[in-house]
Amino acid sequence: MGQRGKLTAEIEYRSGGDVFHELFRFKPHQISSISPDKVQGCDLHEGEWGTAGSKIFWKYTDDGKDKVMKQEVEAIDEEKKSIVLKALEGDVLEIYKAFKVSIGVTTTGDIDLVTWIVEYEKRKEDVEDPLNELGLLIDLTRDIEAHHATRP
């Protein structure tokens, strides 16, 4: 049994948490135009955008390398503004036996927080924790925030 782990990052988001949630739920295919150095493509392989059970295929760059990942939208909670994505195929599963990403947006007063949770199970003990992947998600959040902040 591989070692399991969980990494969490909370990022203050100043461009509207609702907009961020809507982007990841209904329009993730637009992320490649917002952050083309990190995400080169996002295609719907099965189901409909914004619905649990749908399957999404990502082309992205991590640590200078081109990678791919097919994810299933495992759960969506509109009230909590959260989405859970489970990796089905791709580069990340060569290193990790299981890889799941949760995205949530919470609002406290006038502050929105984007929370990323990466849950994983390593294939081997000497595999590093997915800090690069978490860093990529944090950087992507900043790109999206900057993109929406510059729009009228």
pLDDT at position 1, please?
60
87 falls within a domain: yes
pLDDT at position 55, please?
98
152 falls within a domain: no
In which domain, by residue range, is 134 found? Answer: 4-146
Are 15 and 144 in contact by the 8 Å Cβ rule? The answer is yes
CATH code, 14 = 3.30.530.20
73 falls within a domain: yes
pLDDT at position 63, please?
87
pLDDT at position 151, please?
56
**Facing residues of 61 across strands?**
66
Are 138 and 145 in contact by the 8 Å Cβ rule? The answer is no
CA distance 142 to 121: 27
Question: Tell me, what amino acid is at 152?
Answer: P
13 falls within a domain: yes
132 falls within a domain: yes
pLDDT (tens, 9 = 90+) of the chain, 152 residues, equals 679 999 999 999 999 999 999 999 999 999 999 999 999 999 999 999 999 999 999 999 998 999 999 999 999 999 999 999 999 999 999 999 999 999 999 998 889 999 999 999 999 999 999 999 999 999 999 999 999 886 55
Structural domains of the chain, count: 1
